[in-house]
Amino acid sequence: MKTIERISKFTGDTFALWVIFFGALSFFYPSGFTWIAPHITLLLGIIMFGMGLTLSPSDFKAVFKAPRSVLIGVLAQFIIMPLLAFGLANLFQLEPEIAVGVILVGCCPGGTASNVMTFLAKGNTALSVAVTSISTLLAPILTPTLTLLLASKWLPVSASSMFVSIAQIVLVPIVLGIIVKLLFKNQVAKSVSALPLISVVGIVAVASAVVAVNAGKIAETGLLILGVVALHNVLGLLFGFLAAKLLKLDFSSQKAISIEVGMQNSGLGAALALAHFSPLAAVPSAIFSVWHNISGPILATWWGKRSNKNSISSSPVPFTD
């Protein structure tokens, strides 16, 4: 078990490198990864089940201890990124499938990697976990609704079908994970150290499969999509930070909201795009998965070093409003 724990920690610490490496590999050798595509929904379900295993009542108690901070984070998540995606799709006059893909990833909840990045940035990790949990649980309602409102200009959107998909991929596995943890608390505690390894393998596999299926199209339009995705992510980080600052949250919480807003659950975006639109619509999510695992660690490392240099205490900030 100790060996698995060490491997799990290593893969978690080097997550960004694995995403980049296998993303490149699947682009140049797509035939080795296309077989994964039919199993994307299952992989995400496993990842969400693992998230359920890690959740505890304290994660939800935090919502009542600091409702204003959590509300700001959730609203920023579901307002800033969707509107930025809509604006960028219009500004760059993206073709319909790509435009819908950009909007779809913008309408997804925050990714769990944001919690790790917030910790490395010496941000308010408790706030980050609470916002990720709540936004993920709200995703079955808000993601289809926002996608319908913003993306139907380009392609028909079935919000009800998307609701069912997200419930199956996200809600049911998380609830099952929470139930299993309650019933088998000791056994789960012993195996939870392996979850980072499972998550890394799952997310890398999803991103690689989407890149492999669309390798030809990425070769044609990759630079444009990369530019839009990078801009989307960087602006999300910036506006998330500015929103938290404007609403007078402390600096630790500003960092948490910034990272939470900028880092999306791109795996969910890819799965929804493949299920309800087209493989091409999944490309922005795949590229987002690679890109935000570059920008996130860079920003987190810079903030973390800045905190050390300024002798800011790295102890957790009391999570109250």
Q: Residue 314: pLDDT band by 50, 70, 90 thresholds? A: very low
pLDDT at 243: 95
Residue 274: partners with Cβ closer than 8 Å, 6 or more residues away: 37, 40, 210, 281, 282
Give the CATH number of domain 2-307: 1.20.1530.20
Positive/negative CA dihedral, 129, 22, 230, 41? negative
Among the ranges 44-53, 93-102, 276-285, which has the highest mean pLDDT value?
93-102
Q: Residue 299: pLDDT band by 50, 70, 90 thresholds? A: confident
Q: What are the Cα distances from residue 223, in Å, to 11, 17, 79, 278, 284? A: 28, 20, 26, 20, 11
pLDDT per residue as tens digits for the range 188-216: 777 777 777 777 788 788 878 878 887 87
Residue 223: partners with Cβ closer than 8 Å, 6 or more residues away: none
- Lowest mean pLDDT: which of 31-35, 50-54, 98-102, 233-237? 50-54
Beta-strand (E) ranges in the chain? none
Domain spans in the chain, listed from the N-terminal domain onward: 2-307
Q: What angle do CA 308, 300, 242 make, to 5 degrees?
A: 100
319: pLDDT strictly greater than 70: no
pLDDT per residue as tens digits for the range 116-168: 788 778 888 888 888 888 898 899 999 999 999 999 999 888 888 989 988 88
C-beta contacts of 5-10 below 8 A and 24+ residues apart: 5/193, 5/194, 7/197, 8/193, 8/194, 8/195, 8/196, 8/197, 9/193, 9/196
**Average pLDDT of the segment spanning 25-48:** 85
pLDDT at 157: 87
Please, what's the b/e burial string for 20-48 (b: 16 or more CB within 10 A of its CB; e: otherwise)? bebbeebbeebeebbebbeebbebbbbbb
Which percentage of the chain shows pLDDT scores above 90? 28
